[in-house]
Structure 1
């Protein structure tokens, strides 16, 4: 009987102790990370499209039917090389007709010159005869009129010759244009015609071929947000990746920052051109590139984790109100890639209100005011503040729920 009473008393004591033990709020614990010294690189990220530096669209200046194609997709071409032929039959006929008109005009000019020479001789003879009184003044006037008319006839014939020569040159030029030639050295990246297709040269010349002048030199046209454009400068290094080679990082440099804004759904961006070396010809026009431009780099500086700037300890009242312990609240927005000095309200901002928390001897968080510099998204530069290398700063608040421990319920498990 004594054993039963003793067991009951023991269970009662354990129950009361367990009740007060589990009634206590869970004790907050914190995850910390050390303050380090090292390098930080500030970057700007953007997405763009790979293009050839010079792309030429080849059209036609004459209309006709495509008779021959000398090149295809990916064909290397040289400047002046024939790449297509429009049926030249009509153009040959036009050249022959214009040449015949030119010869006829030249013959008319020769005839007019003969007439002029005859009228000139007659005029001179009549002047002498008039002096001797053999002919009347009217005869001299008639000879003068004939001379002037012959002179005008020569000028008209000369104009006709010039006109027909121009028509002949135009016909020969059109015949020459029937052979479409490459205007540059390069590679054919697009062919938009086939043999037998009729092309019409109108106000807007149709594009038959697209030729990339040099695919070993390419560029990326990126769109950079207006908030980041001030950080970019010509000559800055850039790295990028493409989906086709996701395990490889390519290099380039900023060569142009265009001033013309591009507005899309009230978002203002600026086109920034990245020059790329493509000697291996792995990169192709139209590929999407994810670009990262290095805007600033500092070495041997004091830096804290960006998560430490976002941390804010929860009070006991906050923990009870939420019904469960959790991570600390957030201050700022975190400062991803592309943030830099002067970005207020996020890591990297010099607003003087930045705080991190360290643990005192009792294990409670203590705020430390700091001012910050550049960031790479993971770490933030510490400009001033009572921190030194090796100090632990809080990055997350975690609480240990005692009810999840190994003791279990004091009344035993429920079934």
Structure 2
């Protein structure tokens, strides 16, 4: 019996000792800071401006009608390949042909009147010559000679008036023939029809402005992307920079382009100012179609073999309570730094150390691609594959709300 009691006491002591040891280990774990870290890497940074835009043909020609009338024939439709001068539509020419016939008749009438008046002029000239001879022989009076000369001048004026009528009739005939030619609609360029806005039997009215009958893309093998770039980014964009974009029709394919034009006219929508940037892109397989929405990335800078960190590291700020604790452990006084005194490209990174407080490293940030940022070490030591703190986990008692702009003086 006594032996069993002794064994029980030993077991209890063992269990209690293990419990105390486990509790101490648990407390040690609680006291040990736990950090979420990211790895410092070396590689390439491609800084980009992201925008959206629309795919358009380089040259888009709207074919209209300069005369009013009824469409009686269409010779082209959507996606038709057309050549310059090719007939693509016909407006009823009957009325315009009648005007040509009328103009031709008016011209012939004026020409006939001219011939008649020229004969009268010749007769008046002969009469004046005879009257001059008779007047010199004192066979007629001065008044009769003056009357003959007056008739001559009237005949000359009449000839000039009829000649002017002929010129007017000729102009009217040219106008009538031109309008007749306008009833035949021809393609002004080589290209492909991307839009047809009329049907057979439809009446077009050109009284105020020429109605658009067809829209022709001159060459779909060369396309443009018209995109809007925010005013904050437009200063980084240059003609000749490379760009890539995707369209919803081919989500897994990336198209290459080049900045061809930066337009100076601003566009303001709800106080947001943007500028139009035109990209030039080849379309040999005709995959890109007018009107497609493009998600554009313009490469504004590329750097190779640079030290870089994930952007999440730059968003981390050591909590003031933790900074004060580390300063106290180092025998220093913690002095918060005014955020306005720190340049935006100067940051403090924290390198975790086993059994010690994290070590600060002062860096200058450079180019960024939105996920990673180039860094240059200004003070401290940091190399590829080192770990830097991106988050102070909640189970660390020193963890607290972060305060951007506060840091530890070096």
Is this a same-fold pair by TM over 0.5? Answer: yes
Partner of 2:405: none
- Decide which of 13, 31, 35 is 1:30's aligned counterpart: 35
Per-residue deviation at 1:209?
A: 0.7
Could you tell me how far apart the structure 2 residues matched to 1:314 and 1:109 are? 107
Partner of 1:394: 389
Q: TM-score, normalised by structure 2?
A: 0.84
Per-residue deviation at 1:197?
A: 0.4
Partner of 1:152: 157
Partner of 1:48: 53
Per-residue deviation at 1:25?
A: 4.8
1:123-272 paired onto structure 2 within 5 Å? 123-272=128-277
Could you tell me how far apart the structure 2 residues matched to 1:213 and 1:72 are? 15
Could you tell me how far apart the structure 2 residues matched to 1:381 and 1:89 are? 75
Q: What is the number of residues matched between the two proteins?
A: 374
Q: Secondary structure at the match of 2:136?
A: helix
User: Closer, same or farther in 2 for the Cα pair 1:19/1:358, shift >3 Å?
Assistant: closer
Show CA shifts across 1:72-105 (max 9, x none).
0000111111110001111111111111011001
User: Closer, same or farther in 2 for the Cα pair 1:388/1:23, shift >3 Å?
Assistant: closer
Partner of 2:99: 94
Q: Does structure 2 conserve the Cα–Cα contact (< 8 Å) formed by 1:27 and 1:399?
A: no
Show CA shifts across 1:113-154 (max 9, x none).
111110011011101110010111111011011101100110
Partner of 1:39: 44
Q: Does 1:358 align with 2:351?
A: yes
Q: Secondary structure at the match of 2:252?
A: coil
Could you tell me how far apart the structure 2 residues matched to 1:3 and 1:205 are? 114
Per-residue deviation at 1:232?
A: 0.6
1:400-415 paired onto structure 2 within 5 Å? none
Q: Secondary structure at the match of 2:42?
A: strand
Q: Does structure 2 conserve the Cα–Cα contact (< 8 Å) formed by 1:34 and 1:390?
A: yes
Partner of 2:123: 118
Per-residue deviation at 1:13?
A: 7.7
Could you tell me how far apart the structure 2 residues matched to 1:221 and 1:146 are? 74
Per-residue deviation at 1:400?
A: 5.7
Could you tell me how far apart the structure 2 residues matched to 1:248 and 1:230 are? 29
Per-residue deviation at 1:312?
A: 2.2
Per-residue deviation at 1:392?
A: 1.9
Show CA shifts across 1:349-405 (max 9, x none).
96353111101242532221111111112222123323223322122333569xxxx
RMSD over equivalenced CA pairs, Å? 2.8
User: Closer, same or farther in 2 for the Cα pair 1:353/1:301, shift >3 Å?
Assistant: closer
Show CA shifts across 1:242-275 (max 9, x none).
0000000000100100011110100000000000
Q: Does 1:378 align with 2:383?
A: no
User: Closer, same or farther in 2 for the Cα pair 1:3/1:128, shift >3 Å?
Assistant: farther
Could you tell me how far apart the structure 2 residues matched to 1:265 and 1:91 are? 51
Could you tell me how far apart the structure 2 residues matched to 1:8 and 1:298 are? 67
Could you tell me how far apart the structure 2 residues matched to 1:350 and 1:43 are? 23
User: Closer, same or farther in 2 for the Cα pair 1:351/1:312, shift >3 Å?
Assistant: closer
Q: Does structure 1 conserve the Cα–Cα contact (< 8 Å) formed by 2:345 and 2:366?
A: no
User: Closer, same or farther in 2 for the Cα pair 1:236/1:176, shift >3 Å?
Assistant: same
Q: Secondary structure at the match of 2:290?
A: coil
Q: Does structure 2 conserve the Cα–Cα contact (< 8 Å) formed by 1:350 and 1:371?
A: no
User: Closer, same or farther in 2 for the Cα pair 1:4/1:125, shift >3 Å?
Assistant: farther
Q: Secondary structure at the match of 2:279?
A: strand
Return 5+ residue gaps in structure 2 as ranges: 324-338, 397-410
Could you tell me how far apart the structure 1 residues matched to 2:184 and 2:68 are? 12
Could you tell me how far apart the structure 2 residues matched to 1:30 and 1:23 are? 16
Could you tell me how far apart the structure 1 residues matched to 2:366 and 2:320 are? 29
Per-residue deviation at 1:66?
A: 0.3
Q: Does structure 1 conserve the Cα–Cα contact (< 8 Å) formed by 2:40 and 2:307?
A: yes
